[in-house]
Structure 1
Amino acid sequence: MADKHAERRGEHDLAAPGPDRIRNVVLVGPSQSGKTSLVEALLAHARVITRAGSTADGTTVCDTEDAEKSHGRSISLAVAPLVHRGVKVNLVDTPGYVDFVGDLRAGLRAADCALFVVAANEEVDEATRTLWRECAEVGMPRAVVISKLDHPRADVDAVVAQARAALDGKVLPVYVAGPDGVSGLTGLITGGDDTDDPRRGELIEAIIEESEDEDLMDRYVGGEEIDATVLVKDLETAVARASFHPVIPVCGATGVGLAELLDLCVDGFPSPLEHTSPDVFTPAGASVGVVACDPGGPLVAEVVKTAGDPYVGRISLVRVFSGTLDPDTPVHVSGHFSSFFADGAGHEDHDEDERIGALGHPFGATQVPAARVVAGDLGTVARLSRAETGDTLSAVDRPLVLKPWSMPDPLLPVAIEAATRSDEDKLSQALARLAAEDPSLRVEHNAETGQLVLWVMGEAHADVVLERLAARHGVSVEQRELLVPLRECLAGPGRGHGRHVKQSGGHGQYAICDLEVEPLPEGSGFEFVDKVVGGAVPRSYIPSVEKGVRAQLERGLRNGYPVVDLRVTLVDGKAHSVDSSDMAFQSAGALALREAAEVAGVAMLEPYDEVRVLVPDDLVGPVMSDLSARRGRLLGNDNVEGGRTLVTAHVPQRELVRYAVDLRAATRGAGTFTRTFAHYEAMPEEQARQVTPRLHH
């Protein structure tokens, strides 16, 4: 039995001989479309695992973390390699739920081509359309897999028609399923003599249009029967250059279409040799261009995912774009997000040399030991203690940096605090580790509100982050109501008298001052004017009055929020030759300001964001009505290609706390938005009366 297992492992040796014998294929599609089941079926077809999901010697390879099981969906990227006709195919399974877009983006970065998986009983959703457009922009080869042919409500023809209508470009079936959907496939090019099938004629014409042989169309129109091998070769060329997108029906349960799908991956999809690397720079920011996929070239690899392992520490999944990774060798680790993103994407820049540990081939939740990882391949690296997702690994004597992939901003804020003092001591380090693993998580320590805020992609993402804090790091936290940084301002002009006089035996306190206050336009800040005449307030104490006023402005005049945009004028006062002091005039200044504010009135200001919402045209009305209901001020809308509209509005931040969740629900996931700070604006008095006073510690 042991010899048999050794023989089987030899048949499926995961060490690729070279980049030309590698295919990195990412599977994308909606949650519950059957991506993970398809990966398992392909592995079983290639005799890598049993139908139960284990290798021949019993190792489980399609396991998931506890959080993934509890949520009932894939929430993280997983890589499963197989060997088909001597070619190593790295299948990169990605989450379909939008909350876990970080791992989806990482999967796209790791791959050279994409399989869009759509269930035969479902529709092509807006998220799939959006991702298809993004892949088109970068020229990534794509194919469409119609899964779940055995579902009782499967309608392959309807889904194929919808995919063709929804996805841009030449999206055509190259195989058709039998009448029952699960009895087998027939190739439209090579499957028989049914030349009257309109689908076959349309497919052949589409392939010929993509052919580099300019005479082929004339020959076809002239009635010549084009040899199938010529058509297949032209089809494969068109697929590889992303100008044609085949549709293949597949049923993992019965095995229908699995062999044809693997043949497509090997013959139609490009090897890493045909994939251009991301832009390369030096740590100082000088452009290097791109690097060739050459195992003998300079080392350039990227960390596309990091995960914490309780036994071996941090595990980094890397895509090697150039050079070769060898175990137990030093590498340079570079993270320079601030060079490419305005806010640094929440990551501090860093450069350090580290010695990598053991190498492996990723295999689901496990790693198979690897002697080396060559250019074009995916591998795992142990014990890179400082490497974060998005970092670049390069040679110590030639450090380089890859431009990181872009991520949508996490737009759901969740305020938390440690449950106990013990949790508080561990919380910062635990969050730093989670943020290093997950580029879609931002951690903010809001200096104005004093809150610790996690910015996440959605409620499911928030749940997973909190579960990982508890399970991996033993940290318990409690959620709190999110506080928005408000401001206060004067409603009008006023005058105040501040008298701080105390006689209690010994040295007393004596300071009197009179102030006039008036509001200034937004953004003017604070002005202090001295108009004292005749030395009523000695020159040495005028700065004391201003200091007391400034301190009171920070403490607020109504609900404890900072006061902005006003002019304070010192017009009169009195001093005592013995009892006056710096502290006395500070107190008198604060008292005079508070009295003046009572006369002038104090208004509350709230921050507004500029919100840009991208939605399908048929949802513009409901979205605009919702923004208005949130006290938003609509600024306009613009048509965007693909039947979408961009709606722009200024909306109070207090009304946007849960907008990421609400917009997704209202548009069935079709709407997205961005937000940037716009300005502060007066809060309606009805809202202002509901503001909870801010506590100062």
Structure 2
Amino acid sequence: MEIAKIRNLVLLSQSGAGKTSLAEAMLFIAGKTGKLGRVDEGSSILDFEPEEQKRKITISTACHHFSWKKHEIFFLDPPGDDNFNAETKLATWAADNALLVIDATAPVKVQTEKVFAFVKEFGLPCAAFINKLDREHTDFDQACAVLEERLEIRAVPVAYPIGREENLSGIVDLLTMKAYEFSDGKLKIVDMPSELEEKIEELRANLIEYAAESDDDLLEKFLEEGELTAEEIVKGLKRGILEGRFVPVSCGSVDKLIGIQPLLDLIVEFLPSPVERGPREGKTPEGEPDRREPHPEAPISLIIFKTFMDPYAGRLSFARIVSGTLKKEGTLLNPIRDVKEKYANLAIPEGKEMSPCEQAVPGMFCVIPKLSETKTGDTLCDPEAPIIYPMPTLPHAVLTYALHPESRSDEEKIGAALVKLQEEDPSLVISRDEESREILLSGLGQIHIEATIEKLSRKYGVNVKLSLPKIPYRETIKKPKEGVIYRHKKQTGGRGQFAEVHFNIYPLPRGQGFEFVETLVGMNVPRNFVPAVEKGVRQALEKGPLAGYPVVDVKVQFYDGKSHEVDSSDMAFMIAASQCFKKGIQECQPILLEPIMELEIEVPDDVMGDVIGDINARRGRVLGMEPKAGKQVIMAQVPLAEVQRYALDLNAITGGRGTFRMKFSHYEEVPPQIAEKIMAEAKEEEK
């Protein structure tokens, strides 16, 4: 396959813009599929997972390819929903070009801004397709204006709609200056509508100006002659797109199959091939800068942008070939994990199907089955020419739930199943809380967590219930108590038990933990019993007197006691120490402590007041604010109990425009009225 004839791209949009439907239409119009797949009917060959068909949204990146005008086009169809942004970012990292699918009824929502940020981060050449122009209250010119304003791009129309709303019938191709009407996906050339002639001339002139601006020679000719040839326009536009100076905008309606062929022409003629995109930057295993040219004779290198655990085929690693030629079988080095991977098969993904492949060249997406160590984000390369392409930083988890297996069988299988799910989705965070013994699952949002739980049940037969994680409260004391004495004496025939301990108990500054001090004088207590006394106190620390939470920030001074030659033992002193501590702490004004989290919240200026008001309502404190790229960053401290579902609440307040990071800060005393509720709940649980 000639690399100059390869195009690869990632389709990006907000949820509901028709991105997957456009991909299905391109496959159908190009003759790759015999029937048009439809998301709403559940017949899409790209959204094939049950969780996707249920919700009618893309959850996992799909790959496919087709031929158009002697070119091979490979594309990735990642999710449009915020909850699955990690998949989208990895797909954007793997691609050479981006195609923004814009919903004419609501051109730019928050999610469009977020995915376009990935385009800018990776420096991808980008085109746009304005969809749904057959709907009510849609306007192509207005949609272009919104794109320019919200995404801060130069939107350059390369097509213009014929008819508006329900009367949309075709488009004018500004490159060929031909008008097309569409019927059932077939196009025919028609006369240019007279009412559009003036508008088309104006847009055509703009197009030539943009082409001329991209090249000094073309600009000079344009200024002298006022015109460029078709070849010169293509040359200038290609250069401008490659350098990110502007975004060519096509249009139509996926539902009516209007504008698909001109869009495919745009992809082939104006988006760069892997060769035109040039080398990909990486680094050596030692950390020195390195790069690879997209040449079939260069040393092989590729990135793994997705992992899929197939119940029959096992682990499938989806790869983007960066350089060299990947043969059907061989050995590759994984320089990140310092292991060699043998493989004996190669395929090109076509939705959920796989097409066998003899070799893959730069720009292609392919699948390598049964790699044992390689994970998503890894680089594979020639063992003799190692290189690493660093994996991008993925969006961080913002919502955490505790998982409770429903049966003993579920409990036995859950560990291995979660590991496999995490391999498929590296944005999932799985941990175990040692204190509560809960399994914790963290994700990018409610739908992300729910879809993961559904997949856990469907693929691995593990059923779980969700709950908010238990809050790790602590207990401590506010005042000291000296001279606490406890005698443990037990006589039941034979050898008895005897131990007496004398304690002073003091509060410590917050965060100091526990301190045990022995200041015995004389020989009332043999020193060999001291470790048993400390052990007894430490055991008593595990469950405080108020609600059974661990006791912290306490100092115990063991200053005296009594023993018996025969009846004293380590066990007797452990019991005495434990009971003495429990007795004394009751008189030290015990209180509950709660974890306080530090939040860094990034929000638009217009909702800052609402967010601050909400923080105050959550018993939080705003520590400060600072502007950042047209937004405000709010620093605050809020009790964990008030922000366990903050991701959902912040989304509601900001319309999805707010983001936040949260980390543990310190412990503080729980207000009395709230402490009473916590203690009552703890007593209820004990019953």
Q: Same fold (TM over 0.5)?
A: yes
The answer to which of 226-235 and 561-570 deviates more is 226-235
The answer to which of 465-474 and 527-536 deviates more is 527-536
Any idea what the Cα deviations from partners look like across 1:628-657, whole Å, max 9, x if unmatched? 21221111222121x321111112222221
Matched, 1:125 2:125: no
Shift of 1:189: 5.6
Whether the 8 Å CA contact 2:305–2:377 is kept in 1: the answer is: yes
Matched, 1:291 2:292: yes
**Aligned counterparts of 1:250 and 1:388: Cα–Cα separation in 2:** 39
Q: 1:143 to 1:153 in 2, by over 3 A?
A: same
| Partner residue in 1 for 2:308 | 307
Any idea what the Cα deviations from partners look like across 1:195-216, whole Å, max 9, x if unmatched? 8955445444444333333853
Letter in 2 for 1:18: E
| Partner residue in 2 for 1:404 | 391
Matched, 1:257 2:259: yes
| Partner residue in 1 for 2:172 | 186
Whether the 8 Å CA contact 2:211–2:235 is kept in 1: the answer is: no
Any idea what the Cα deviations from partners look like across 1:234-266, whole Å, max 9, x if unmatched? 111100111111111122244432232222222
Whether the 8 Å CA contact 2:210–2:236 is kept in 1: the answer is: no
**Aligned counterparts of 2:325 and 2:231: Cα–Cα separation in 1:** 37
| Partner residue in 1 for 2:272 | 270
Shift of 1:681: 1.8
Letter in 1 for 2:117: R
**Equivalent residue for 2:519, pick from 516, 520, 531:** 531
The answer to which of 198-207 and 611-620 deviates more is 198-207
Q: 1:215 to 1:70 in 2, by over 3 A?
A: closer
**Equivalent residue for 1:28, pick from 12, 30, 34:** 12
Shift of 1:132: 1.9
**Aligned counterparts of 2:94 and 2:21: Cα–Cα separation in 1:** 21
Whether the 8 Å CA contact 1:305–1:389 is kept in 2: the answer is: yes
**Aligned counterparts of 2:376 and 2:408: Cα–Cα separation in 1:** 30
**Aligned counterparts of 1:195 and 1:661: Cα–Cα separation in 2:** 45
**Aligned counterparts of 2:447 and 2:121: Cα–Cα separation in 1:** 29
SS of residue matched to 2:83: helix
Matched, 1:145 2:124: no
The answer to which of 433-442 and 291-300 deviates more is 291-300
**Equivalent residue for 1:86, pick from 62, 65, 70:** 70
| Partner residue in 1 for 2:55 | 71
Shift of 1:32: 0.9
The answer to which of 169-178 and 597-606 deviates more is 169-178
SS of residue matched to 1:568: strand
The answer to which of 493-502 and 429-438 deviates more is 493-502
Letter in 2 for 1:509: Q
**Aligned counterparts of 1:311 and 1:562: Cα–Cα separation in 2:** 47
Matched, 1:633 2:621: yes
| Partner residue in 1 for 2:431 | 444
Letter in 1 for 2:537: V
| Partner residue in 1 for 2:217 | 213
| Partner residue in 1 for 2:591 | 603
The answer to which of 556-565 and 461-470 deviates more is 556-565
Matched, 1:565 2:567: no
Shift of 1:430: 0.8
Q: 1:187 to 1:444 in 2, by over 3 A?
A: same
Q: 1:596 to 1:455 in 2, by over 3 A?
A: same
Q: 1:653 to 1:541 in 2, by over 3 A?
A: same
Letter in 1 for 2:398: L
Count the aligned residue pairs. 657
**Aligned counterparts of 1:476 and 1:449: Cα–Cα separation in 2:** 20
SS of residue matched to 2:436: coil
Shift of 1:268: 1.9
Letter in 2 for 1:184: G
**Aligned counterparts of 1:660 and 1:84: Cα–Cα separation in 2:** 43
**Aligned counterparts of 1:672 and 1:276: Cα–Cα separation in 2:** 34
Map 1:296-695 → 2, pairs under 5 A = 296-333=297-334, 336=336, 350-396=337-383, 400-495=387-482, 496-641=484-629, 643-691=630-678, 692-693=681-682
Any idea what the Cα deviations from partners look like across 1:140-188, whole Å, max 9, x if unmatched? 1112210112223432222121111111132232221113363322244
Shift of 1:111: 0.7
SS of residue matched to 2:682: coil
Q: 1:281 to 1:654 in 2, by over 3 A?
A: farther
Letter in 1 for 2:643: L
The answer to which of 208-217 and 544-553 deviates more is 208-217
Letter in 2 for 1:269: L
Shift of 1:579: 1.5
Q: 1:489 to 1:528 in 2, by over 3 A?
A: same
Whether the 8 Å CA contact 2:92–2:118 is kept in 1: the answer is: no
SS of residue matched to 1:534: coil
Where does the alignment leave 5 or more consecutive residues of structure 2 unmatched?
Answer: 179-196
Letter in 2 for 1:209: E
Any idea what the Cα deviations from partners look like across 1:342-391, whole Å, max 9, x if unmatched? xxxxxxxx554333232111111111111111222110112224432222
| Partner residue in 1 for 2:158 | 174
The answer to which of 381-390 and 232-241 deviates more is 381-390
SS of residue matched to 2:216: coil
Letter in 2 for 1:250: G
Any idea what the Cα deviations from partners look like across 1:295-321, whole Å, max 9, x if unmatched? 222222222111122332222211111
**Aligned counterparts of 1:395 and 1:429: Cα–Cα separation in 2:** 32
The answer to which of 134-143 and 192-201 deviates more is 192-201
**Aligned counterparts of 1:367 and 1:196: Cα–Cα separation in 2:** 44
Shift of 1:551: 1.7
Letter in 1 for 2:23: V
Shift of 1:505: 2.0
Whether the 8 Å CA contact 2:281–2:289 is kept in 1: the answer is: no
| Partner residue in 2 for 1:11 | none
Shift of 1:330: 2.6
Whether the 8 Å CA contact 1:357–1:384 is kept in 2: the answer is: no
Q: 1:393 to 1:162 in 2, by over 3 A?
A: same
Matched, 1:40 2:53: no
**Aligned counterparts of 1:636 and 1:201: Cα–Cα separation in 2:** 51
**Aligned counterparts of 1:225 and 1:329: Cα–Cα separation in 2:** 54
**Aligned counterparts of 1:500 and 1:287: Cα–Cα separation in 2:** 68
Q: 1:123 to 1:376 in 2, by over 3 A?
A: closer
SS of residue matched to 1:330: strand
**Aligned counterparts of 2:595 and 2:673: Cα–Cα separation in 1:** 17
Whether the 8 Å CA contact 2:125–2:244 is kept in 1: the answer is: yes
Whether the 8 Å CA contact 1:280–1:291 is kept in 2: the answer is: no
SS of residue matched to 1:512: strand
Pairwise CA RMSD: 2.5
**Aligned counterparts of 2:253 and 2:580: Cα–Cα separation in 1:** 80
| Partner residue in 1 for 2:283 | 280
Map 1:153-172 → 2, pairs under 5 A = 153-172=137-156
**Aligned counterparts of 1:647 and 1:276: Cα–Cα separation in 2:** 40
Shift of 1:512: 1.2
Shift of 1:439: 0.9
SS of residue matched to 1:235: helix
SS of residue matched to 2:280: coil
Letter in 2 for 1:290: R
Any idea what the Cα deviations from partners look like across 1:535-577, whole Å, max 9, x if unmatched? 3332222222222112211233432222222221122211222
Shift of 1:71: 1.2
Where does the alignment leave 5 or more consecutive residues of structure 1 unmatched?
Answer: 1-16, 337-349
Shift of 1:29: 0.6
